[in-house]
Amino acid sequence: MVYVLVSTRKRVHTRQLIGNKTLKANLSKFGKSSSLLLSLMLWKSKETEINEKSFMSETITPLKDLLSDSESMRKKFELFVMKVQKDVCHELQKVEDKDNDIDGNHESANFRVDRWTREEGGGGVSCVLEDGRVFEKAGVNISVVYGTLGAPAAQQMKSRGKAFKDNADLKFFACGVSSVIHPRNPNVPTLHFNYRYFEVQDVTNDEKYWWFGGGTDMTPYILDEKDVTHFHQTLKNACDRHNKTYYQKFKKWCDQYFFINHRNECRGIGGLFFDDIDHPNQKEAFDFVKSCADAIIPCYIPVVNNNVNKGYSYSDRQWQLLRRGRYVEFNLIYDRGTKFGLVTPGSRYESILMSLPLVAKWQYCHSPEPGSKEDRLMQVLKKPREWV
Amino acid sequence: MVYVLVSTRKRVHTRQLIGNKTLKANLSKFGKSSSLLLSLMLWKSKETEINEKSFMSETITPLKDLLSDSESMRKKFELFVMKVQKDVCHELQKVEDKDNDIDGNHESANFRVDRWTREEGGGGVSCVLEDGRVFEKAGVNISVVYGTLGAPAAQQMKSRGKAFKDNADLKFFACGVSSVIHPRNPNVPTLHFNYRYFEVQDVTNDEKYWWFGGGTDMTPYILDEKDVTHFHQTLKNACDRHNKTYYQKFKKWCDQYFFINHRNECRGIGGLFFDDIDHPNQKEAFDFVKSCADAIIPCYIPVVNNNVNKGYSYSDRQWQLLRRGRYVEFNLIYDRGTKFGLVTPGSRYESILMSLPLVAKWQYCHSPEPGSKEDRLMQVLKKPREWV
């Protein structure tokens, strides 16, 4: 594992967003769902408005190359993940700064930005805010990796439903944005989202495959049914614009995927999860992914704002830390993304493991009292509910 | 997963050890290495001295059955693991109680004893002491499980070097004692040991296989070279009594096994690890395992006593919690015992996961300062050293 790392500590100031702001002004008359697509279209026509400052760091592929070919999904997707990363970091920083304004004496926590390149091809940008007042650990990563697929990584892909021959000579391209946000206050749920684009080429017979995957899911510690309904409704609206069957299908897939098998419980209250989206065509599949990404901020930030100033007890915090132990169990034992990452040669483990909470606990045989609020959450994790 | 659980909170009083004490008096003229073998021999001849109070709980197989056939390795091994469990719990409780005597005001933490039986066959006894003043979490488990081997579990066994045919009809028997001891003070290392006996019968062709596995290894947070040398020397002495090549071989295997591949570092300073011991014959292989088990208390308890009253800083504690995060990574991602356990139908996940620390931390991109004591430990974890 050899990579070149450039690290900066960065506050996402609004003045760094000049390019996007202009863009947003232009876009305000359009609906939310189409804004990302339009930004990409506008980027092409107004190339001068896109520069390195539009993102959290320099892009992995030179920006000029990314803007040079509007037909390449690889390039479109890299621009897309860079934009999602910037937008989410910007929103989180605003929340972190706002809470800080209450007493105004402290310098608030900022995102650390690490741009790394991979000897084998590609690289990534990791943005991590740690030990903040609102966010105990929040990471938003993008990565663009390509090369030859090793046997263990191919095996991970196979379990996603792609059956490649054992002796196939495979080239791959993977680009994605991935985030886990662990707030400090146990009243505020943890959020996870991940959107990715894959291409695999079987060099033996020159067959090419592409697909999108992704999802957004939430892990509360104290259940607030209104918040959970808002979260699911926002995701459902994003799905419904593309296919009326998607929400039900991907909600169910999410409950099945984020499942801690040995404990027979879900990690959280679900959301969306999908893999292998290669229909009806590349453009429409990408449009759906963009709608999902557009829903990240509206599904989650209101939930943060609703709860961030609620008080909590010592035992609420202890319960949150125990549930974070379960989060670690899921991510290290079952999560295919983590496994795929850790066996991909030259991948950066610090970026993969930023999903782990700052602190977690394991207490032997902990079991919440029947009827307690902890128990009420467990009922939902043991038996996923329909929220909308 | 259906199991019957009987739970008690238990202090290991010396008066519960009457049977063993008499035995020990009789054995005092013999060398340490042969004491366990002799106890088993004496147990047979002095049946009245062995009763349920000799152990932390009732045995899994009825005691009368266990004492009825001195030729059966299954039975001898179950008695052996029950005895190791009792001896280790007893020693740990003594340390916990002693430290408590300093101010004398607090009731000290005791082992919780859970005896569980498994619908599919067998069961186990888990002894866990949590949130003590010396031991933040200490678990000593025994388990006796048997039945038909499922495909995932067979796969785990295969990676231990046993190649069973894919369509083989396999019956298995596994009995072991397993322990992880996480002290509170960062000056005191974590200890892990595990000794096990396996039998697999291929029903298709009636072939039988048996083997022993096990090891003892230590994970310090602050390196004390004298302690590490003592630890390795004690293990080497145990090996040397049986085969002069064992220590080098199993020390190397330990460094290779307890390796966190994605971080390119060892979990701790090693010790012994072996698998597939089926030579020179069953009796001598078991004698070797017993010598290793006899070394557990003398290799570790002096290290605890040397360090338990040393002071430590906030940053020492933070460093310990970060290293405990690495411990979690190893156990959940790489440890075959954990994987084997979690995929074995009817296994008890609380017993398997008692190995996880009470608290662990993950800080993004933490890197110790060159030349610091944290860095000195890392040098050893990056490049295992010869200690004796």
Is residue A200 over pLDDT 70?
Answer: yes
Closest CA to A76 of A38, A48, A113, A49: A38
Digit-coded pLDDT (tens) for B316-325: 999 999 999 9
The confidence score (pLDDT) of residue A163 equals 65
pLDDT at B17: 34
Q: Of all residues in chain B, what percent carry a pLDDT higher than 70? A: 81
Q: Which of A143-157, A216-230, B208-222, B242-256 has the lowest mean pLDDT?
A: A143-157
| Contacts with B, A 293-312, CB within 8 Å | none
Query: Which pLDDT value is given to residue B204?
Result: 81
Residue with the bigger pLDDT between A200 and A225: it is A225
Residues in A touching B354 (Cβ below 8 Å): 364
Q: What is the pLDDT of residue B160?
A: 58
Distance CA B337, CA B344 (A): 10
CA distance A107 to chain B (A): 20
Residues of A in contact with B359 (CB under 8 A): 321, 359-361
Q: Does B317 touch chain A (CB under 8 A)?
A: no
Most confident of B4-8, B255-259, B342-346: B255-259
In the sheet with A207-219, reading across from the earlier edge strand, the strands are A3-10, A111-118, A122-130, A135-148, A170-183, A190-202, A207-219, A270-277
A176: pLDDT strictly greater than 60: yes
pLDDT average, residue stretch A45-73: 84
The CB density around residue B361, as the number of other CB atoms within 10 Å, is 21
User: Chain A: nearest CA to B322, how far in angstroms?
Assistant: 9
The predicted structure's pLDDT at residue A337:
87
Q: Closest Cα of chain B to A355: distance in Å?
A: 9
Is residue A222 pLDDT above 90, yes or no?
yes
Looking up tokens 């008066």 gives: B15
B223 touches chain A (CB under 8 A): no
> In Å, how far is B246's CA from the nearest CA of chain A?
32
Q: What is the rounded average pLDDT of the residues B109-113? A: 96
B58-89: buried (b, 16+ CB within 10 Å) or exposed (e) per residue?
A: ebbbebeebbeeeeebbbbbbbbbbbbbbbbb
Mutation site for B-interface testing, chosen from A354, A364, A367 by largest number of B Cβ within 10 Å? A364
- Residue B361 has its nearest CB partner, among A1, A349, A358, at A358
Residue that the structure tokens 């190359």 belong to: A65
What confidence category does residue A154 fall into, taking pLDDT thresholds of 50, 70 and 90? low
CB contact under 8 A, B325 and A364: no
Residue B230 is predicted with a pLDDT of 98
Q: For B324, what's the count of Cα atoms within 13 Å in the CB-facing half-sphere? A: 32
Identify each DSSP E strand in chain A by its residue range: 3-10, 111-118, 122-130, 135-148, 170-183, 190-202, 207-219, 259-260, 265-266, 270-277, 359-361
CA pair distance A73, A240, nearest whole angstrom? 24
Q: From B160, B187, B157, B161, select the one nearest B172 (Cα to Cα).
A: B157
Instruction: Return the higher-pLDDT residue of B69 and A84.
Output: A84
- In this model, does residue A224 exceed pLDDT 60? yes
Mean pLDDT taken over chain B: 86
Query: How many Å is the Cα radius of gyration of chain A?
Result: 20
A280 prior amide bond cis, ω within 30 = yes
Residue B184: CB atoms within 10 Å:
20
Return the C-alpha torsion angle A364, A368, A369, A372, nearest 10.
Answer: 160
Residues of chain A with pLDDT > 70: what percent? 81
> CA–CA separation, B160 vs A233, rounded Å?
49
Interface test with A, best of B110, B262, B321 (most A CBs within 10 A): B262
Cα gap B229→B128, rounded to integer Å: 29
pLDDT value of residue B32: 42
Tell me, what's the pLDDT at A107? Answer: 75
Q: Is A139 on the interface with B (CB under 8 A)?
A: yes
Residue A166: burial class (beta carbons within 10 Å; 0-12, 13-18, 19+): exposed
Q: Give CA separation, A321 vs A137, A223, B348, B367, in Å.
A: 13, 15, 22, 24
Closest CA to B66 of B55, B79, B56: B79
pLDDT value, residue A167: 65
Specify the higher pLDDT residue, B135 or A163. B135
Contact A367, B353 (CB under 8 A): no
**CATH no. for B3-382:** 3.40.1500.10
Selection from A113-127, A179-193, B150-164 with the highest mean pLDDT: A179-193
Residue A312 — φ and ψ, nearest 5°? -145, 155
A181 has which bridge partners?
A: A138, A191
End-to-end CA distance of chain B: 46
B97 touches chain A (CB under 8 A): no
Q: Is the backbone peptide bond immediately before A345 cis, with ω within 30 degrees of 0? A: no
B237-255: pLDDT as tens digits: 999 999 999 999 999 999 9
- B35 vs A180, higher pLDDT: A180
Whether residue B10 is predicted with pLDDT greater than 80 in this model: the reply is no
pLDDT at A207: 86
Q: B302, B111, B54: which is closest to B188 by C-alpha?
A: B302
Element (H, E) at A366: none
Helix (H) or strand (E) holding A65: helix A63-68
Residue B159: burial class (beta carbons within 10 Å; 0-12, 13-18, 19+): exposed
Q: Mention every residue, 6+ apart, whose C-beta is less than 8 A from residue B179.
A: B88, B138, B139, B140, B141, B191, B192, B193, B194
pLDDT class of B260 with cuts at 50, 70, 90? very high
Would you state the pLDDT for residue B156? 65
CA A194 to chain B, closest CA, distance in angstroms equals 19
Q: How many of the other CB atoms lie within 10 Å of CB of B42?
A: 17
CB contact under 8 A, A359 and B360: yes
What pLDDT digit, counting tens, does each position of B175-230 carry? 999 999 999 999 999 999 999 999 988 888 888 889 999 999 999 999 999 999 99
Among A91-95, A104-108, A109-113, A297-301, the minimum mean pLDDT is found in A104-108
Longest dimension (CA), chain B: 64
Q: What is the pLDDT, as a whole number, of residue B243?
A: 97
Q: Which residue in this structure is represented by tokens 């996870």?
A: A192
How far is Cα B143 from Cα B61, in angstroms, rounded to an integer? 11
Q: Is A82 left (phi over 0), alpha (psi -120 to 50) or beta?
A: alpha
Residue A298 has pLDDT above 90, yes or no: yes
Q: Do residue A139 and residue B353 have CB atoms under 8 angstroms apart? A: no
Task: Tell me the CA distances in angstroms from A371 to A14, A368, A377, A378, one per residue in order.
Answer: 46, 8, 10, 10
Task: Give the one of A137, A262, A342 whose C-beta lies nearest to B349's C-beta.
Answer: A262
Confidence grade of residue B343 (pLDDT, cut at 50, 70, 90): confident
CB contact under 8 A, A128 and B349: no
pLDDT for B5 equals 61
Based on the residue annotation, tell me whether A192 is a catalytic residue of this protein: yes
Lowest mean pLDDT among A114-123, A231-240, A250-259, A327-336: A114-123
| Entry pTM | 0.87
- Angle, CA A235 vertex, CA A230 and CA A236 arms, to 5°: 95
Averaged pLDDT score across all residues of chain A: 86
Identified catalytic residue from B182, B192, B230, B232: B192
Interatomic CA distance for residues B161 and B175, integer angstroms: 19
pLDDT of residue B14: 33
pLDDT mean over B50-65: 90
Q: Is the dihedral of CA A62, A66, A72, A75 positive or negative?
A: positive
Over residues B271-285, the pLDDT tens digits come to 999 998 999 999 999
Residue carrying the six token digits 């021999």: B41
Q: What is the pLDDT of residue B121?
A: 84
Q: Which residue has the higher pLDDT, A15 or A346?
A: A346
Using a CB-CB distance cutoff of 8 angstroms, which residues of chain A are in contact with residue B356? 325, 362
Where are the domains positioned within chain A? 3-382
Side-chain half-sphere exposure of B67, counting CA atoms within 13 A: 16
